[in-house]
Structure 1
Amino acid sequence: MELLLVIFLTVLTVFVAVAFSYERPKAEIPHGFSQRQKLYAFNYVLNFTFSLAKILEKVGITSEAYFLRTVMDVIPLLKDKHFFIKDLRFEKVKVRIYQPKISTTGQRRGILYFHGGAGQFGSIRSYERTCCYFGRKSDSVVVSVGYRLAPEHPYPAQFEDCLTATIHFMRTAQDYGVDPSRIIVCGDSSGGALTAAVAQALVNRRDLPKLRAQVLIYPFLQAVDFNLPSYQQNEQMLFLPKERALALGLKYLNKDLSVIKVVDKVSHIPEDLQLKYQKWVSPDHIPPEFKTRGYKPSTTRTFSKELYTLFKPVLDPVFSPLLAEDSVIAQLPEAFILTCEFDVLRDDGLLYKKRLEDNGIKVTWCHLQEGFHGTIFLTVWSVMTEFLSGHKGLEMIANFLRLT
């Protein structure tokens, strides 16, 4: 027994040592940042988790995606006394619905929540606290969508499930005490991309009520330019450094990760499309105050037909909602967009905000000056993981929901 314990501890020690050397934390946190040490601590934990996931996959114990899903699902479920909670299926899509217990004379608003996780991890369970928070603070019925995950279910299965669940809920809203004209779609990170894509897919549906609003929380919205100011400034920022963001995107599409090495040197966009996309995706559209932390315009890159063929799926508005035509953008519902200063995806949100406003769509914008990718999820998770930026963002989102 003692020998087995020694072997176990030795193996564990080796795994820990290898994990930390495999991917050393390189986070750059500005001086004067509040809760700086707490932020560093969580960055170490996150880097260790991602590194261990990669090692376990390399040695054939489990896949990286499955390990990360397991880690996220250890979050204790919240026994929230405010809701009747049911697991259902909308068509073939798993959902969990949170209905307030307190009765009301009228119909409530309904919120469909699409969780983040790069289309590969995250779940109904891991986002239960998030859904309960928004439902409780806005007195809404919340539907958490358990869409299928990659790589077992390749893209665009995730979008298809979210769209299917949304249409089903819109058609049956009154069965759950929801006003069909007060349905809001909401999501964070990759779930923000799904939110935007679903909203766009519904603009020409005359057989359904119009969505009341869309809530995009630090969303991924484009795969055209990975050298925007936010990508440069936050290249080594905690939680979602640039290389990790690109790797997760490629894994979502089941593409070879080796192209990460050339993506900054070789263009995957042909010249005609570059001219088209520059109207929507360009550093010129980023306000000057967001370039003060540094920005170096990227040099002209050689076009690669091979890379274009590989990346072609990312130019579809389902994957990159920022690339939708103006005729679609102009019909979208009112939006709430949350961006974080220390997030590679910050400029995606800023550019989408501009596109919506240019097309006459009302936008409520919340920018977290000390925000980072994942701050909303962490703050809802537990007292130990809460951050001031997350509290501010949660309050702003809840206030928007209450008034919508």
Structure 2
Amino acid sequence: MSSFLSKLRVSITLWIFWALLSIRNLHIARVIFNAVTKPTSSQKPWMVTDPQEKTCVWVLEGAASLKQEELYDRIRKADIVLVWVHGGAMVFGSAAQNMEPFIKWIKLFKEKKSLNVVICGVEYRLAPENPVPAQFEDVATAYTHIVKDLGIPATKIILGGDSAGSLLGPEAVIYSREFNHLLPNNGYQLPIPAGYVLSSPVAEVLNPCPSMEENKRKDYNPPTMKYLGSYVNSGPSGFQPKPWVLFNDDYNLKANAPKSVLVFVGGHEIGRDENILIAKRFSDGGVDTTVITEQYPHNWFLLGPSVVDEPSVNEKADEKFVNWVIESIAKA
């Protein structure tokens, strides 16, 4: 595809995203979003909901045809388990919305490194029907099932997510370890995984955010979209401390974080400065933090060719991601 056609495709995609996210009626926005992101006929054979724990949607080759024991055997024998929490400002989206990058990653690890990777997409309850801490509870439940019920060593697990979902995993680990009475885990403390991957992390804590004005015409996220902050702050009074607790200096971040964190930042996103702030929080806390920045809009790493007009950018980012995951597993 020529450079002109690539840029035209990206421009049209960004406009469509902007139009979707500008819809004020959440029900209509969800219907459209789910229609756009639903798995294709070729992707469906790769996914299956866990027979015992519905918060886990497993992605691996031939998943849909596997019986329970066959599925669990494949998961246990995998070299790496990637647990992914989807974005969508906690108000829309699903575990299946990222099937394209999931399948691409599985194939890359197999073809380039001869490693078997399985992915668990976390199907968490959405706000506002399910207020905080429902989302954190569901992430903790999925992770607990993986490490406790299935017996997967935390040293084989990479916990990742995109946009608002990227912080649900680290926060669930912190709540479980420091404030476990707040989550329905019967006092079980989640083990620290081998690494965190945060793709365009969003918390809506930086106000004002200089990049909001600078990038308001470059990003597809409307500057007026403020779902996340309002729902996080409207949680029950008994749920203390409120998210995002990783910004709280009253606990030891390094003691509750993996050795390695990878952060993807969009240089053209309105939340760029907040992405950098979150990465800095981990780095200042003594965590080995790698930041990959490209001059593209929000969540460019997951959306890939949809918003990135230069194929080499996607290829380079995927290669760095694969190498970082392998290095993090080795260090765990």
- TM bucket (normalised to shorter chain) is 0.7 to 0.9
- 1:186 maps onto 2:150 in alignment: no
Change (3 A) 1:100 1:209: farther
What TM-score do you get using the length of structure 2 for normalisation?
Answer: 0.75
Change (3 A) 1:328 1:203: farther
Tell me the amino acid that sits aligned with residue 93 of structure 2: G
Rounded to whole Å, the distance in 2 between the matches of 1:133 and 1:365 is 22
Partner of 1:140: 117
8 Å CA contact 2:21–2:29 kept in 1: the answer is no
Which residues in structure 2 correspond to 1:372-387 (within 5 Å)?
Answer: 372-379=297-304, 387=309
Alignment of 1:184-223 (within 5 A): 184-204=158-178, 208-223=190-205
Q: Determine which of 80, 84, 87 is the counterpart of 2:49.
A: 87
2:177–2:189 contact (8 Å) kept in structure 1:
no
Aligned-residue sequence identity (percent) comes to 21
Q: Deviation of residue 165 (structure 1)?
A: 0.8
* TM-score between both structures, scaled by the size of structure 1: 0.63
The answer on 1:367 being equivalent to 2:331 is no
Asked if the contact 2:49/2:57 (under 8 Å) is kept, the reply is yes
Q: Deviations over 1:202-221 (max 9, x none)?
A: 44588553311111110013
Q: Does 1:112 align with 2:112?
A: no
- 1:123 aligned residue (94, 100, 109): 94
Contact 1:340-1:346 at 8 Å conserved across structures: yes
Question: How far did residue 316 of structure 1 move?
Answer: 6.9
The residue aligned with 2:319 is 395
Deviation at 1:132, TM superposition (A): 2.2
Structure 2 unmatched ranges of 5 or more: 63-72, 110-115, 181-187
Between the aligned partners of 1:161 and 1:193, the Cα distance in structure 2 is 13
- Alignment match of 1:233 (pick from 192, 214, 225): 214
Aligned residues: 297
Q: Which residue of 1 aligns with 2:70?
A: none
Q: Secondary structure at the match of 2:251?
A: helix
1:98 is aligned to 59
Give structure 1 stretches of 5+ with no counterpart: 1-32, 254-308
Give 1:191 deviation, angstroms: 0.9
Structure 1 pair 65–46 and aligned structure 2 pair: CA distance change class (3 A):
closer
- Is this contact kept in 2: 1:221–1:322, CA < 8 A? no
Call closer, same or farther: CA 1:80–1:45 in 2, change over 3 Å. closer
In the alignment, the residues of structure 2 paired with residue 123 and residue 141 of structure 1 have an alpha-carbon distance, to the nearest angstrom, of: 18
C-alpha RMSD of matched pairs (Å):
3.6
Pairwise mapping of residues 160-309 of structure 1 onto structure 2 (< 5 A)?
160-174=137-151, 178-204=152-178, 208-223=190-205, 225-244=206-225, 246=226, 248-249=227-228, 252=231
Q: Measured at CA, do residues 147 and 76 of structure 1 come closer, stay the same or move farther in structure 2, by a change above 3 Å?
A: same
- Post-superposition CA distance 1:233-268 (Å, at most 9, x none): 123332113212x2x325645xxxxxxxxxxxxxxx
